[in-house]
Structure 1
Amino acid sequence: MSDERKQINLSFSGDNRFASSMMQGRFLYFLEIHSPLACQPAAAALALLKEKSRELAALPQIFAFVVTDRLLSEDCHDPYLAAEAISTGSGKPVIISISGKGSSAERVKGILAEAKAQGLRNFLAVSGDCPRQEQLADHPGRQHLDSLEILQTAGHFGPGLCLGAAVNPFKYTPEDQCLQYAKMVRKLRSGANYLVTQAGWDMKKAQELQWFLQKRAFAVMVVARVCLLSWEEAQQLADGYRPGIYFSVPLGSALMQDAQGTQEEFQERQLRRVARQIVGYQKLGYGGVQLSGLRDPALLQKLFGLIAQEESSNPDYDHWLKNWNDAYGKHNPAPGLGAHYLFRGLMQPGERDYAPEKHPLAGTRLRRPARLDSWRASLGNLLLAGSRPPVWWRRILQLLCRLPEEELQRLRPCFYLDNSSCPKGLRLGPCGGSRQDGRCEDGSQPCFFQRVMRLAAARNQFGTLEGDYDDTAKQQ
């Protein structure tokens, strides 16, 4: 990939406060606000949002708001409605999330058009989680749009948009970690101007992402999503949390133990932990944090006061690292001793930034692809331009992929493997919702894209996962 592709373009029309702040290198605070549920009357819900955002905007530390899309449920009002109310009420920039959950390209275009008409230019593409069984029953045949397809749709929508993409660095198998970073590269090559990470507590993984971007020379702002759990959520951690957000047994047990005290004591511990983590993100070179689970101005004010204290007592990376390890090092955030990390030497004193000579890649051996998968990929290669495979070969591939011949090329990004085992029907790369052991977020099987990853490794075609085919298609 050429160097000019690695430098992110930050030239936008309209409200460009976000883009300007990215170029200035400021550390920014974004506040996450949910789109109202569809069962709530729109006028009343939006009026409340407008008033609440006006109250929250009085906090000078809050730079912008992020409106989620279908995070609470698939049945939510479209996010541009909430974004308009918040923009009017707060006078601050608003980022509109667009979820692929139950979405289509037409829905994405509609949201983009409505938002652009209101002068809103900032968007974040997310794949969204799997619909629950009752939602599938209510909406049979609902499709799921890949966040990469959302980015590509927005990219064709016209200039002047600031587009963000999500990445989940908290992956602990070699396949999952490599797949996440390959999908991230593909998103950057498809026009993403900034990245937002999923929430997590493993700061080695937070540093790992920064080192990967440094190794690949990507100049891109990264915002870390930070969750403040409620007292009730912490008490119920044994029943699981949201897809893609992992709690190790030691960390989850510590949080549940904290929740055995009073709500005030629990809240105080969480705020201090979050404040120190946010300062850690500052020291690791992140451009900001997206605060989730906080809507009380008094709590936010208290958090910002604690952050100021942490900044004062942690003037540099080494001071922060020692204090972080002293306070939380005993709670291993990774799933056991065999967790995979891409680099050696993470979270060591004096080694904030990536140095090729000091931080080699941690080599790992992947499983060989199944013989039938390799055969499918070989059959698929015969469909490329200039090849005229026998008719019976094409018929076999159609049967294996369960697609008519004219649609077979849609599976080229996944080496012509049948992607029907992915509950979201993704083909361009994985979502971020897989579990810590590499299983799909629905728990039924390993993530489909692990098979794709093994094929890419065996055929030495990692570029396919990063979008080399996309770039070739653009040039034709």
Structure 2
Amino acid sequence: MTLSPFFRALSDPDNFTLTLELVPGRSGRGTGHDRALAVARQAVADGRLTAVSITENAGGQVALSPEVLGVEICALGLEVIVHLSCKDKNRNQMESQLFAWDRLGISDLLVITGDYPKPGYRGLSKPVFDLDSVQALDLIGVMNRGGWPSGGEKARPNPLLQTTGFVKGVALSPFKHSEPELVMQYVKLRRKLAAGADYIITQIGYDARKFQEVLLFLERQGQGRVPVLGNVFIPSLKVAELMYRGEIPGCVIPEKLYTTMQQEARSPDRGKKARLMRAAALLAVLRGLGYAGAHIGGPGLTYDDIALVLDRAEELAADWRALLPELAFWPEDSCFLFRRDPETGLNLPEEEPLTEPGGEKWSYYLSHLAHEAAFVPRGPFYRPMKRLCLAWDDSRLSRALIHFEHLLKFLAFGCKNCGDCTLVELAYLCPQAACAKYILNGPCGGSRDGWCEVYPGRRRCIYVRAYQRLKSVGRQAEMKDDLVPPRDWSLNNTSSWVNYFRGLDHQGGPDQD
């Protein structure tokens, strides 16, 4: 695969790559788009930015499709990273869109699951989430190899299908308070890397120790060469207030930082210069820590603001360690993966013991006991269960089996009768029933304090619960990096028991006896 100029720059250890995020508006000809193009022109003239990234329906809001601005900005001579979100498209539409982007010459992607949709035409649109970000990475990888994406695991190189050359970026949310949320973010990152992620962009944060944690984790996993862009977000006061209150999924302004910003806002410029200088300090620290680059963003920024931040960051770069006390905003009582270095305020390369207790032990234990007994070939009831299900399915009462199974599993797990059961992969929790985004390969980044992004204070994140269940029985370290494939909709409203025993589901069936 021919590497894009952006990825070549990002992979150069002697280069600190700078990118800027642009957010299209809800129109095709708005003045906001004109301002975005003006910023892009100034960036080309300045020469320090390597690329701009363009969001796709950011925050769940309807907006101009990103490739439209992308083509115009590419024509100006600036590289473009287009966000590929899973929330509004099924897998076929996603594949179609990728072919279109490939033809337009757009090759750099940021692959994300996406925020839950906000109300649009005549109410709330249907959230799709046919694939999650890990599955989307797998789809793109197959397309890059020239396989036929609709073939699933049986995809093979096809001379009739032109290969694509996409560079696949992914997001990581290391700014999580609790152990289950933080650990599961890194579990999902491992799956993203196994699925072929080429680079990483972090979520918004203002803590040097947390940013260093990402690099230490990658080194511990043998993935230290994967380029990482640190997120340098410059919020307005209004946006900072929304983040502090938890109204922007996945983006957190801690109490200490919020108090600081409130004090800064008493100045004549309402604290704008202080926010710009904090961004410059963070840029310098990221470079000092060994990040491959930084991803700059924020509402209402002019290019003069950006240039000021870049200029000041260059002045601060040589003495970046002196800036560390200014970027220590994450609460110390939160979960960290590594021990704190008392001298620098960063991390030591020693793992921090994870001590948060588990939960829902008996729910997990009873479900696991039933599974092992009836659905594992060595189990005592496996053969009778298999014979009974297949015989029942071959009889006139096959529909009764579907209804019986659905009723039983609905009472126990809230089953949606998908016919392709993933309970065993998620600690006997059903993602079709308990996850607003139906995610099969790890949490989205939108949870806060363990609560689901869509139902804060009402529904716990399914992956927080899964981690707590596994930890309650000492099995949290057994979470694998293997891809859980997307739901096969041809099995909808059929018996998952029969599909399992016939080898029709995502597991491909157990060993035949």
For the criterion TM > 0.5, the same-fold answer is yes
Q: How does 1:112-261 map to 2 (within 5 A)?
A: 112-132=98-118, 134-135=119-120, 138-144=123-129, 145-159=131-145, 160-218=165-223, 219-234=225-240, 239-261=245-267
**Per-residue CA shift, 1:68-108, capped at 9, x if unaligned?**
1111543223222221122112x122111111223321332
Cα distance in 2 between the residues matched to 1:467 and 1:343: 25
> Quick one: which amino acid aligns to residue 267 of structure 2?
G
Secondary structure in 2 matching 1:130: coil
Q: How does 1:323-362 map to 2 (within 5 A)?
A: 323-325=323-325, 327=326, 332-334=329-331, 338-346=333-341, 348-349=343-344, 355=349, 359-362=350-353
Contact persistence 1:207–1:346 (CA under 8 A): no
Distance 1:449 1:245, change over 3 A: same
Aligned length: 440
Distance 1:30 1:377, change over 3 A: farther
Q: Does 1:32 align with 2:29?
A: no
Partner of 2:295: 290
Q: Does 1:373 align with 2:378?
A: no
**Per-residue CA shift, 1:254-275, capped at 9, x if unaligned?**
1122123222x62211111111
Cα distance in 1 between the residues matched to 2:121 and 2:341: 42
Structure 2: tracts of 5 or more residues without a match: 146-164, 390-400, 486-505
Secondary structure in 2 matching 1:224: strand
Partner of 1:452: 466
> Quick one: which amino acid aligns to residue 448 of structure 1?
I
1:300 to 298, 306, 313: 306
Distance 1:343 1:237, change over 3 A: closer
Matched-pair identity in %: 22
Q: Does 1:110 align with 2:96?
A: yes
Contact persistence 1:49–1:85 (CA under 8 A): no
Secondary structure in 1 matching 2:351: coil
**Per-residue CA shift, 1:427-476, capped at 9, x if unaligned?**
221011111x2222231232111221133332526443532767x979x9
**Per-residue CA shift, 1:179-213, capped at 9, x if unaligned?**
00000000000110111110111222111121111
Distance 1:66 1:385, change over 3 A: farther
> Quick one: which amino acid aligns to residue 358 of structure 2?
R
2:479 to 452, 464, 469: 464
Distance 1:238 1:136, change over 3 A: farther
Cα distance in 2 between the residues matched to 1:76 and 1:378: 48
Q: TM-score, normalised by structure 1?
A: 0.83
Please identify, of 457-466 and 298-307, the stretch whose mean Cα deviation from structure 2 is larger. Answer: 457-466
Distance 1:179 1:234, change over 3 A: closer
Partner of 1:77: 64
> Quick one: which amino acid aligns to residue 117 of structure 2?
P
Secondary structure in 2 matching 1:344: strand
Contact persistence 2:112–2:171 (CA under 8 A): yes
Contact persistence 2:227–2:292 (CA under 8 A): yes
Secondary structure in 2 matching 1:191: coil
Partner of 2:52: 65
Cα distance in 1 between the residues matched to 2:281 and 2:177: 24
Cα distance in 2 between the residues matched to 1:177 and 1:114: 36
Give the number of the structure whose alpha-carbon radius of gyration is greater.
2
Cα distance in 1 between the residues matched to 2:122 and 2:367: 33
Cα distance in 1 between the residues matched to 2:61 and 2:368: 35
> Quick one: which amino acid aligns to residue 56 of structure 1?
A
2:315 to 309, 314, 337: 309
Distance 1:423 1:55, change over 3 A: same
Cα distance in 1 between the residues matched to 2:85 and 2:186: 20
Cα distance in 2 between the residues matched to 1:235 and 1:451: 29
> Quick one: which amino acid aligns to residue 450 of structure 1?
V
Distance 1:206 1:425, change over 3 A: same
Partner of 1:317: none
Distance 1:428 1:238, change over 3 A: closer
Structure 1: tracts of 5 or more residues without a match: 1-11, 315-319
Cα distance in 1 between the residues matched to 2:410 and 2:282: 50
1:438 to 450, 473, 476: 450
Please identify, of 290-299 and 381-390, the stretch whose mean Cα deviation from structure 2 is larger. Answer: 381-390
Residue 289 of structure 1 deviates from its aligned partner by: 0.9
Distance 1:328 1:77, change over 3 A: closer
Cα distance in 2 between the residues matched to 1:166 and 1:384: 36
Residue 281 of structure 1 deviates from its aligned partner by: 1.0
Cα distance in 1 between the residues matched to 2:354 and 2:286: 27
Q: Does 1:278 align with 2:263?
A: no
Distance 1:64 1:277, change over 3 A: same
Residue 239 of structure 1 deviates from its aligned partner by: 4.4
Partner of 2:159: none
Cα distance in 2 between the residues matched to 1:49 and 1:261: 28
Partner of 1:414: 426
Cα distance in 2 between the residues matched to 1:411 and 1:103: 25
Residue 238 of structure 1 deviates from its aligned partner by: 5.7
Cα distance in 2 between the residues matched to 1:347 and 1:377: 43
Distance 1:229 1:468, change over 3 A: closer
Q: TM-score, normalised by structure 2?
A: 0.77
Residue 139 of structure 1 deviates from its aligned partner by: 3.9
Residue 245 of structure 1 deviates from its aligned partner by: 1.4
**Per-residue CA shift, 1:367-399, capped at 9, x if unaligned?**
143422333344445446785562489664476
